[in-house]
Amino acid sequence: MEYSINKLAKLAGISVRTLHYYDEIELLAPKRISSNGYRVYGPQEIDRLQQILFYRELGVPLDEIKRLIGSKNYDGIVALQGHLSAMKAKRDQIDRLIANLEKTIAAAKGETIMSDQEKFTGFKQKLIEENEKQYGREIRARYGDAVVEASNAKMMGLTTEQYEKTQDLSRRINESLKLAYAQGDPAGELAQKVCALHREWLGYFWQHYSKEAHLGLAQSYVDDPRFRKYYDDIAEGCAEFLRDALQVYCQ
């Protein structure tokens, strides 16, 4: 299939000027020049342009793209796999910025407090990569939940100290729950410890504790899809496991 410059531009979602420019800097030359002087692009140019746009999307300068694609031992597939992981990294960065935004919104509403450091997490890339290696994915997965909990805490009129305590409890609950679930016994020691922690956590939000209410809540964790997701993010079937453990705990 052959394309005129306009057709190619529209196909790729770029401007004619851009294709002119790419020709000018010898990044992407047309397949041939027709008798009237018009540029004609063929299948090879299509693929090359696609590669160029992948690199461009990743912020690679054009002359480096030229060098990369033009290099003698250029392996298209290896390059594509490189793009893939780079794109995934970029998506992770966006995810961090989204988490940052969510927390910033909560902070703006007065639901939580952000350190100056936190305000810029997600913008820096190098530090992030280091952080990533250091802490891994768990923190990320937990971040969104932490925001929710922080806002809840404020809403419930907790002091900063109390809030931090609930956060700490929440973390310990999730950690222990994960381990307990791995062991598989709802009546086991660890699972029962989770129940005790969960009760303690509830103590910050409830005026009066009752076993019935606690059990009812546990059942809701299974019944309501929003909650289910919260616990199934820890491990699939975790909501049921917690309910079963609480049934033992509450006798």
Partner DNA sequence: TCTTGACTATAACGTAGCGTCATCCTTTAT
Partner DNA sequence: ATAAAGGATGACGCTACGTTATAGTCAAGA
Binding site for DNA (CB under 7 A): 4-7, 15-18, 20-21, 30, 35-39, 56, 61-63
**Residue 5's binding partner out of DNA, a second copy, none, with CB under 5 to 8 Å set by partner kind:** DNA
**CB closer to DNA, 73 vs 117:** 117
Binding flag, residue 47, a second copy (CB under 8 A): yes
Judge contact between 190 and 180, C-beta under 8 A: yes
| Contact (Cβ atoms closer than 8 angstroms) between residue 167 and residue 142 | no
Residue number with CB closer to a second copy (12 or 69): 12
Check residue 123 for interaction with a second copy (CB under 8 A): yes
- 41 close to 31: Cβ distance less than 8 angstroms: yes
CA distance 19 to 8: 9
What does the alpha-carbon distance between residue 221 and residue 183 come to, in Å, rounded to a whole number? 20
Residue 197 C-beta-side C-alpha neighbours within 13 Å: 22
**Shortest spacing between CB 38 and a second copy, in angstroms:** 19
Report the alpha-carbon distance of residue 158 to residue 152 in Å, rounded: 9
Select 70 or 216, whichever has its Cβ closest to DNA: 70
Q: Which stretch binds a second copy (CB under 8 A): 18-26, 65-73, 98-106, 129-137?
A: 98-106
Nearest residue (CB) to a second copy, 128 versus 185 = 128
Q: Long-range CB contacts (< 8 A, 24+ apart) of 66-75?
A: 66/25, 66/26, 66/27
> Taking CA 207 as the corner, what is the angle to CA 202 and CA 212, rounded to the nearest 5 degrees?
65
**From the list 15, 33, 71, 80, which residue makes contact with a second copy (rule: CB under 8 A)?**
80
In terms of C-beta density within 10 A (0-12 exposed, 13-18 middle, 19 or more buried), how is residue 118 classed? middle
User: Is 54 a residue that touches a second copy (CB under 8 A)?
Assistant: yes
Residue 4's binding partner out of a second copy, DNA, none, with CB under 5 to 8 Å set by partner kind = DNA
Using the structure block, give the residue that is written with the tokens 């971040």. Answer: 143
Hey, which residues does 33 pair with through a beta bridge?
A: 39
Of the pair 90, 188, the CB lying nearest a second copy is at: 90
Q: Is 68 in the site for a second copy (CB under 8 A)?
A: no
Binding site for a second copy (CB under 8 A): 1, 11-14, 43, 46-47, 50, 53-54, 57, 76-77, 80-81, 83-84, 87-88, 90-91, 94-95, 97-98, 101-102, 104-105, 108-109, 116-117, 119-120, 123-127, 144, 148-149, 151-153, 155-156, 202, 205-206, 213, 216-217, 219-220, 223-230, 232
